[in-house]
Structure 1
């Protein structure tokens, strides 16, 4: 089974080896909490968290 990894830079959750949002390869399997952003331009939560791309994000990344 493929393990989901969270980017330490932007907190995007991915199954790849490179973050598709910020292109960082600094990923970790140690994360918790999920925010699903469908429409970042109309989302108050996305604005508060600084999210500009739709997708799955971790709330806490260590």
Structure 2
């Protein structure tokens, strides 16, 4: 069984399966309960990043529960 990656409930960044805190915002509120995945390479040029309030490149969950 594969380890599930963890999404941050605060900023939606997808972190590694062993993360204790979000590598972007530092929140300890991480969950395996998320859906959808988007990789944002150039947030300053991305309408999706603008809608999600993302300012840093990375992989983000679209829906976090």
TM-score (norm 2): 0.88
* Unmatched tracts of structure 2, length 5 or more: none
* Unmatched tracts of structure 1, length 5 or more: none
Q: Deviations over 1:24-62 (max 9, x none)?
A: 010000000011100101111101110011111001111
- Cα distance in structure 2, aligned partners of 1:30 and 1:2: 13
Which residue does the alignment assign to 1:44?
47
TM-score (norm 1): 0.92
Which residue does the alignment assign to 1:29?
32
Which residue does the alignment assign to 2:7?
6
Moved over 4 A (4+): none
